[in-house]
Structure 1
Amino acid sequence: MPTPTTTGYQLLHSPRENRGSAFTDEDRRRHGIEGLLPIGVNTIEYQVARTFAELENLENDLQKYLLLSDLQARNETLFYAIVMSDPARFMPIVYTPTVGEACQKFDHIFRAPRGMYLSFNQQGRLQEILGNWPQQDVRFIVVTDGERILGLGDQGVGGMGIPIGKLSLYTACAGVPPQYCLPIMLDVGTNRHDLLEDPLYLGLRQARVRGAEYDAFIEEFVQAVQTLYPKCCIQWEDFANINAIPILERYQNQICTYNDDIQGTAAVALAGILGALRISGEKLSDQRFLFLGAGSAATGIAELIARAMALDGVDLAAGRQRSSLFDINGLLVDSRTDIAAYQRPFVTSGPATNSFVDAVNAVRPTAIIGVSTTPKLFNKQVIEAMSAINDRPIIFPYSNPTSRSECTAEEAYTWSGGKAIFASGSPFPPVSFDGQTFIPGQGNNVYIFPAMGMAIYVTEATRVTEEMFIVAAQGVAEQVSEESLAKGLIYPPQSQILEASLHVACKVAEYIYDQGLARAPRPKDIEAEIRAKAYRPVYA
C-alpha cells in the first residue's frame, strides 16, 4: 500500500488510504491526524480480530453484509484483509447468496455510494459523467442494467449490488488491485410496479427502455469507456437474454469484453464436468447433456462444451448435438415453432415432451444441468431416472440463490443412492449417506472471472475469446486433488481460492501471450509477474 497522498481529516475518510487505529504515532504527526483517533495503536491483525468479534454478534448474514460494506467504504485494506483471511466463509456474505437479499432491499438499506450510476435520462452526456470517477486508469468495469439479477429478476437500480460484489471478488480471489475496478449501474428504468411506487426507490421512475433507444444508450456507454479507459475490460452482468446475447455478439470482437453469465458460467460448468469425468473415468466426447433451462446460460455452456469437444477432434456441429435443451414449453425439438436463433444449434429431432423426466428417458443424458432459476424441478423421479441410466450420474443444479436451486445436495445424494456426482450454484453443507460423507462442490463463477481478470490485467489483453474460457476451465479442473475427488468434491476448495485463481490466471495469460492478444510485453516468468502484481491487503 503506497504512502497516503491526503492528510488530516480527509485521510481518515479515504477508504483506499485510511488505516484507522493502525496509524502509528509517527504517521499521525506526519499526516496531521493527531487527536483524530484514540491514542492506542493497533496492528491490522488486531483490527481483523475486532471486526471478527463484531461479526459474531450479528444475527444474520445481511447484517454482516452491511457491516462489511460499511468497512469497505471506510478502510478498503482492512475489508480485504477480512475477506481474504477466510474466503470460504466470507464469499457467501459479500456475494451470493446474501447479495441477492441486499439487491432486493437496496433502496431501504442504501448507505454510502459506491461506483457509478449512469441513467438513461443522461444520454448524450455519458462520457462527461463517467469522467467524474476519480480514478484515471480503470481496467475493469462490471456493469448491469438490473433486469435479471441472479434468479430474482428485475431489481432496477438495486441490481448495483452485483457489480460491487463481483469486483470485490476480483480482488479477494485473484489479487486484482481494487483501484482499477469500477462497478456501474446502467439505469434504464424498471418494469416492477412495486419499485416504481416505493417512495424510497432510488432509480429512474419509468418503464424499461427497449429497442433502438436502448441499443444507442449501450453504444454511447461503450464508446465513453473506450475513450476514457482504453485498456478497460467490460464485464456484462445479469442482463436479460433479449439484451445479453445481442450485446455480447455486437462487441466481443471489437473490444475487450465478456459476459460472465454466458461465458463465465459456461467455463465453471465445463470445469465441473472435467472434474466429474476424473471421478467417472469417462471421456468428454462420450457425454450427453440435458439442460433444464434454454436461455443464454444454457446455450453458453452447451457451446463451450462443444468447442471443448472440438479440441479433442469432434466435429463442432456434432458436439453441439450432444446437448439438448428443455424450457417451459418442453424439449426443444425441430417440430417447435418458438425457437430463437441462438437456441437453434442445440435443437434435436424426436418427439416433443413437456415432462422433464420423460426428456431424461428420451435423451438418456449422462449429465443434467439446471439453469432454470426454478426450484425443485430435479425431483426424485428425475434423479432416480438419471441413476437408472448412469453408474455415476452428473447432477448440476446451478441456479442461484439457494432458494432457486433445482435440488439440494442431500436430495441428489439420497435419491441417487450415493451415486451422484454433484455440484450446485449455491453452497450446500456436507451430506452423510450410507456411511460416507460427501462434500458438495459449488459451481461458482468465482473460479473463473477473478482469474480471467487477473490475466487480462497483467497482459493488457485486447480481446476475450471463447478459447480463453476453455483454458480457464481446464486450469480449474486440474487443481482438484485425488483426496477431494474421493469426497465428491470436483472444484478446488474455496479456502484456497487465491492460489487456485493465480494458477488459472497463469494459464490464461500464457494463452493470451501465445495468441498475440496482449498489449503488455511478455515477461520471462509469467507466474512471477502475476504474483508480483497481485494485491495484498497490508499497510505499507
Structure 2
Amino acid sequence: MTARASIQIEVPTTEHPTGCNLLRNPRLNKGTAFSEAERRASGLEGLLPPAVSTIALQVARRHDEIAALDDDLQKYLALSDLQARNETLYYALLMSDPATYMPLVYTPTVGEACQKFGHVFRAPRGLYLPITARGRLKELLANWPEKDVRFIVVTDGERILGLGDLGAGGMGIPIGKLTLYTACAGVPPQHCLPVVLDVGTNNHELLEDPLYLGLRRERIRGTEYAAFIDEFVDAVQALYPRCCIQWEDFANFNAVPILERHRDRICTFNDDIQGTAGVALAGIYAALRISGQRLCEQRFLFLGAGSAATGIAELISLAMASEGTELTAARGRNALFDVNGLVVKSRTDLTNFQQPFALDHAPVATFVEAVKALRPTGIIGVSTTPNLFDQQVIEAMAEINERPIIFPYSNPTSRSECTATEAYGWSQGRAVFASGSPFPPVEIDGRRFVPGQGNNVYIFPAMGLAVFATDATRVTEDMFIVAAKAVAEQVSEEHLATGLIYPPQSRILEASLHVAERIAAYIFDQGLARVPRPNDIGALISACTYRPIYSEEAG
C-alpha cells in the first residue's frame, strides 16, 4: 500500500472535514492545490486565492521562502509551521532536496531549537507524558488520535545531542527523528508518534526560566524512574502492540539498562547506541575499501566511553567475530578513553557496560599518549567535547597509518572533536574522514576532499521502513551489521576517490530503500516477520513507502 494524503484521522467535527476545518487538517490540506471542483464540493470557495497551483509550484514557492531567510532557526520554524499546516507539501519539499533540508529539520539546527524550545514554541506536536501522570500513562497515550502507531521515538530530554539536559525541550529530537523516518525512507507519517517522558530537569537555567514548558522539579531517579519507564512500555504494548520504540538521548546510566531490560521482549532499539554503531561500522567498511585492509586487522581508539562508544565498539566486535575473530579478542581491539584516561582493568570507576573493553594495560593519562601506545588504525570521537582531536593527535595518527581513519562523530558542529580542514590538513590529505555534523568540501594542495557525514539517518529510517514492511517482532544487533554493509556497498569508487565514504545525502531515499530491502530479507530469514515472505522483497518495500502526493479527491 502506498501512503497517500487522503488517509483519515479523527477530527471532532465531521468524518469528512470541509471548509476551514479541511484547511486546518494538515494531513488532508492541499492549500492552493485544491482544484476548482474540490473547492466547490468542500466549501472552500472564497477561502483560497483563485489560482490553482500544482504541488511542484507549491514546493518552489516554499523553497524560495526558506532560502530567503538568513537564520537557520528561522528556517526550522518556517518548516515546522508548514508541517503543522500541510504535511504532504512539507514532505514533498524535504524530499525534493534532502541534502539542503536535513540539517535544518535535524542536526545541527534542531539543537538550537531544543535549547530555545520554550521561547519559540508554536503549536503542540506529539505527546508529553509527565511523571505526575504515573498510573495513567495508558489513558494519556489513548488521547493520540491515530490508533495504528508503529513507531514511537521517545526521549526524557537528559542528554540532548551534546547539549546536555534540556528537559521537555528535548521534544525537538523525537519530532526531528520521525521527520527523517518519512523524508529519508518513506515511513508513512501517520504511523509515527514523538514522545517526551518528563521526569523533571536538573538544568537550573530552565527551572528559573518563566517560559520553560516542562515540570519545574529536579529529575526523578531510581526505582520511581524505572517504574515510570516500565509503565510507559506496558502502555504502548497494550495500545499499539505492533509498535517499535526508539529510545533517544537518554543519559548513559539510563540508556543502557533500559535497552537491556526491554530489547528481548519487545520491538525496540536505542539509536544513540545501535544506530550510531551502525553508521560508524558502515563508514569503517567503506574506509577499508580505500585502505585495502580487512576489518579484523583494525584497532580503534574511542574518545569517550559512554553508551555511544561502547555501542560502536560492541558492534565492531560482533562484526569482527562474524568474520572469524574470537569475540573477546575482537573487543580487545576496541579501546576507550574518557576524562579519567584510558579505560584499563585497574580502574575502579568503570560501569558494567565499559568493563568488556577494559584493557590489561598501564594507565595512560592523555589521548595522544594513548594513540602512540596503542597504535590504532582509527580514532572515533563521541565525547561531545570539541577540539580534542588536536594537531598532535592527527599527526600521530598519520605517522602510524598511511590512511588514518578519523571520525569526530560528536554533534552539533560546535561539539565536533575536529573539523574536516584540520583532519585533512594535519594529515597531508591522507585522513579517511567522517564527522557527525556536516562540513563543506576542503581543498588541500589542489586536491578536493568531500567530507562524509556519519549521520544515523543512513541507518534508523531504513531500519524503520524494514520493520514496518515486515511487521518485525524484534530489532537485533545483526540487523545493524546488515544495514552497515548495505550502506557501505552503495559508495561508488568515484566518491571514494574524493574521500566520501557515505552515499550522497541527495539520494538518501534511494539509499534507504536499498538498506531497508537488505534488512527486511534478514528479518524474513530469521523468522522475525509477522507477514508472509513475498517473492519480491523490493516490491514489498516499495509498496509500503510513503509518497508525498495529494489525493485525487478532497477529504
State the TM-score bracket (shorter-chain normalisation): over 0.9
For structure 1, which runs of at least 5 residues remain unmatched after alignment?
none
Instruction: Give the letter for the 2:468 counterpart.
Output: Y
Count of equivalent residues = 540
1:362 to 363, 369, 373: 373
TM-score (ref. length: structure 1): 0.99
Paired residue for 2:313? 302
- Provide the rounded CA distance (Å) in 2 between the counterparts of 1:508 and 1:516: 13
Paired residue for 1:524? 535
Report whether the alignment pairs 1:337 with 2:348: yes
More deviation in 438-447 or 42-51?
Answer: 42-51
Secondary structure of residue in 2 paired with 1:342: coil
Within a 5 Å distance, the mapping from 1:114-513 to structure 2 comes to 114-513=125-524
Residues 5, 548 of structure 2: 8 Å contact kept: no
Instruction: Give the letter for the 1:118 counterpart.
Output: L
- Provide the rounded CA distance (Å) in 1 between the counterparts of 2:255 and 2:545: 31
Residues 5, 549 of structure 2: 8 Å contact kept: no
Paired residue for 1:107? 118
Instruction: Give the letter for the 2:318 counterpart.
Output: R
- Provide the rounded CA distance (Å) in 2 between the counterparts of 1:175 and 1:121: 36
1:475-513 Cα distance to aligned partner (Å, 9 max, x none): 000000000000000000000100000000000000000
Residues 76, 104 of structure 2: 8 Å contact kept: yes
- Provide the rounded CA distance (Å) in 2 between the counterparts of 1:52 and 1:176: 23
Report whether the alignment pairs 1:57 with 2:71: no
Secondary structure of residue in 1 paired with 2:79: helix
- Provide the rounded CA distance (Å) in 1 between the counterparts of 2:330 and 2:67: 50
Instruction: Give the letter for the 1:232 counterpart.
Output: C
- Provide the rounded CA distance (Å) in 1 between the counterparts of 2:5 and 2:144: 20
- Provide the rounded CA distance (Å) in 2 between the counterparts of 1:35 and 1:230: 44
Instruction: Give the letter for the 1:430 counterpart.
Output: P
Residues 5, 27 of structure 2: 8 Å contact kept: no
Secondary structure of residue in 1 paired with 2:73: helix
* RMSD (CA atoms): 0.7
**Structure with higher RCO (Cα < 8 A, 6+ apart):** 2
- Provide the rounded CA distance (Å) in 1 between the counterparts of 2:444 and 2:67: 31
Paired residue for 2:78? 67
Paired residue for 2:104? 93
Secondary structure of residue in 2 paired with 1:341: coil
- Provide the rounded CA distance (Å) in 2 between the counterparts of 1:199 and 1:429: 39
Secondary structure of residue in 1 paired with 2:438: coil
- Provide the rounded CA distance (Å) in 2 between the counterparts of 1:149 and 1:336: 28
For structure 2, which runs of at least 5 residues remain unmatched after alignment?
9-15
Instruction: Give the letter for the 2:280 counterpart.
Output: A
Percentage of pairs with the same residue: 71
Paired residue for 2:11? none
Cα deviation, residue 418, structure 1? 0.6
Secondary structure of residue in 2 paired with 1:203: coil
- Provide the rounded CA distance (Å) in 1 between the counterparts of 2:491 and 2:132: 49
Cα deviation, residue 6, structure 1? 2.1
Instruction: Give the letter for the 1:250 counterpart.
Output: R
- Provide the rounded CA distance (Å) in 1 between the counterparts of 2:292 and 2:369: 27
- Provide the rounded CA distance (Å) in 2 between the counterparts of 1:486 and 1:53: 34
Instruction: Give the letter for the 1:75 counterpart.
Output: N
2:23 to 12, 20, 23: 12
Instruction: Give the letter for the 1:299 counterpart.
Output: T
Secondary structure of residue in 2 paired with 1:437: strand
Report whether the alignment pairs 1:539 with 2:547: no
Large movers: runs of 4+ above 3 Å: 2-5
Report whether the alignment pairs 1:80 with 2:69: no
Instruction: Give the letter for the 2:343 counterpart.
Output: L
Cα deviation, residue 2, structure 1? 5.0
Instruction: Give the letter for the 2:181 counterpart.
Output: Y
Instruction: Give the letter for the 1:270 counterpart.
Output: L
Cα deviation, residue 56, structure 1? 2.0
